[in-house]
Amino acid sequence: MFLSSFYGIIDTKNRVAIPSSFRSVINSTREKIFIFKSLKYECLEIHLSSKINSLVKNFDEKDFFSKKNDHFKTAILSDLEEITIDKEGRFTLKEQLQKFSKLSKEIIFIGKGNHFEIWEKKLGETHKKISRAKFK
């Protein structure tokens, strides 16, 4: 599971180093990982291929002619990108994803159990505070 929060940076070559505990989860599953623009927040979501496959299967089993299902698949799958992690645990973040999520140099990784998010540091910290306050 992807747990906890970690700070990181985007280096001058637009590379992001995934926190070691998150890399351990990825390595133990031996699954491909995918990134896409969140449909809920101004952040990026990272999911294992098993979760993406499950989502697609779930929507394919529902009404094939449903516009809602089609919008979901378009929203997620049209922007979905596989991430390739180098030997140092980094991947290159495309400019369009940086712009969407307002990422600059300082970032925060937020674990969400079966996936994790990448936020601009201050926006992510604010999101965590708001989430905690709404939970009370």
Between the alpha carbon of residue 30 and those of residues 14, 26, 55, 114, 131, the distances in Å are 25, 6, 19, 14, 31
Task: Give the tokens for residue 81.
Answer: 């990108």
Residue with tokens 């940076």: 9
93-129 tens-digit pLDDT: 999 999 999 999 999 999 999 999 999 999 999 999 9
Total-model pTM: 0.92
pLDDT score, position 106: 98
How many CB atoms neighbour CB 8 within 10 A?
Answer: 17
The alpha carbon torsion through 72, 74, 76, 78 (nearest 10 deg) reads 180
35-76 tens-digit pLDDT: 999 999 999 999 999 999 888 887 777 776 778 888 888 888
Polymer length of the chain: 136
Q: Would you give the distance in Å from CA 129 to the centre of its chain?
A: 19
Between the alpha carbon of residue 5 and those of residues 57, 70, 109, the distances in Å are 30, 33, 5
Q: Are 34 and 44 in contact (CB under 8 A)?
A: no
pLDDT score, position 115: 97
pLDDT score, position 75: 87
